[in-house]
Structure 1
């Protein structure tokens, strides 16, 4: 009865892990959608999609192995599940490490934040800022029309500077659609700014800004920093889901191992809880 209960339990838990693979797969697809619309980074969601599909397939194998008491299938299930858990742990650590540094800076009299590339470092920053990738990312951000969607009409007229300054902008909007605040540009509308009366700031992005709607600040370091900040925010949300799923998978793995041992005992005709080796001629003297 205990053996059957253990196998039925692992079958049920694997059905649950099959359901849990759906959020992981959905997270990868969500990041892919985010990449096409805002982040424009599509090289990090594939591990999530692969992990989600792998958990889905191996859960079906574990379900079949437990229900039909197939020891070989259960052994294969345990090996692959162990590898999936190890990869998932490594992936969670990797995601936190590459998105560890950097955040927006508060600006006086503004509700939005400004973003600076020097606040970020490491593998992800080097990859995003490289000429090989930034050209593609910049084109993707421009084609998404995220800056043109920034415009608002209030009472039949464009919003005023004071109204714009109290808006909560996304990192992409703040970094790519306007010049850095320190450049002292004068607001005309959300994507058109004129140089102020004073000198332009020392930030190189001050000279990179253009009122050309196809250029804006897409070549600015602040735009790269905005992409990094947006990516960090997305990946931290996904990591929370991955941690919960990882904990559940570890629990399922422990129970699956117990079910596997039960199957081996049944295959060897061993009584549950009995010793594997017994003497052919037991001694008459018992201690």
Structure 2
């Protein structure tokens, strides 16, 4: 019986650790959904994070209750749920690495490329990212929702004011701020103060520029460059960055859950074996006494 209690204690300890880890995962998912960075507008990262946290919490509670109450059927259910979670995490991590592997060149935290005309200003191009991520953003219906979310979230409001001129002109912005809150550096617009930009003198038809985004810029804070390709590419870049981070976290959790699952299986197997040996021994003794 001591061995059975030891097996239960191992299962309890492993699931207690998993339960504690599920809390920061849930918190991270909620934070990703609530932050004003633009990437949360598509909820491609926050939803899996919340789902992972909830699944970890549910399976851990099942394992804890099953071990504490010695409910074999609940431990079986816990192990099956852990196996399903392992497969789901493996598929997610593999898929995330595939869809974030479309980047060609460039680098840095913002995933954009520095331009020769704007020091520190990064350029974002849709062609640099995977087709799946681009389709999640480029479609008219999806972009209308994301664009509305960007405007409602006020991602560009923190750049308002003359004291933000250095950031707007020289960089130091997030991907979404750089792609959506200022005209592309190639347009050679001049910062006029309080978040407004002036077109180059003498340019009558800015839409004829080599960069079509130059004609889409509007100083209206509800429009800005939200209709620009650079803005769409910046949102895709932010999504790619978050998905790559999520893939790395997924691999770490995959390894950890694999260890917990292996320990749980071994403990459960030992518990069944010791339980069988214990009852067989008691049966043998009773028959011998008779």
Matched residues, number? 267
Cα distance in structure 2, aligned partners of 1:231 and 1:249: 26
What is the aligned counterpart of 1:179 among 176, 180, 183? Answer: 183
Structure 2 match to 1:61: 62
Cα distance in structure 1, aligned partners of 2:273 and 2:167: 73
Structure 2 match to 1:277: none
Any conservation in 2 of the 1:38–1:141 contact (CA below 8 Å)? Answer: yes
Q: Structure 2: give runs of 5+ residues left out of the alignment.
A: 104-110, 282-290
**Superposition RMSD in Å:** 2.5
Cα distance in structure 1, aligned partners of 2:270 and 2:202: 80
Please give the residue correspondences for 1:123-142 in structure 2 after superposition, counting only pairs within 5 Å: 123-142=132-151
Matched, 1:116 2:125: yes
Cα distance in structure 2, aligned partners of 1:240 and 1:117: 23
Of stretches 217-226 and 1-10 in structure 1, the one that deviates more from structure 2 is: 1-10
Task: Encode CA deviations 1:60-117: one digit per residue, 9 max, x unaligned.
Answer: 1112222333322221111111001111121222222223334311022412312122
Please give the residue correspondences for 1:25-40 in structure 2 after superposition, counting only pairs within 5 Å: 25-34=26-35, 38-39=38-39, 40=41
Task: Encode CA deviations 1:161-191: one digit per residue, 9 max, x unaligned.
Answer: x664333011111111111111222222363
Give how far 1:264 is off: 1.8
Structure 2 match to 1:244: 252
Give how far 1:54 is off: 1.6
Cα distance in structure 1, aligned partners of 2:189 and 2:219: 11
Structure 2 match to 1:170: 174
Any conservation in 1 of the 2:180–2:228 contact (CA below 8 Å)? Answer: yes
Structure 2 match to 1:23: 24
Task: Encode CA deviations 1:197-245: one digit per residue, 9 max, x unaligned.
Answer: 4765312211111222221111111111111112222333333333322
Matched, 1:256 2:257: no
Any conservation in 2 of the 1:28–1:48 contact (CA below 8 Å)? Answer: yes
Closer, same or farther: CA 116–209 of 1 in aligned 2, 3 Å: same
Any conservation in 2 of the 1:185–1:196 contact (CA below 8 Å)? Answer: yes
Any conservation in 2 of the 1:164–1:190 contact (CA below 8 Å)? Answer: no
What is the aligned counterpart of 1:193 among 190, 197, 200? Answer: 197
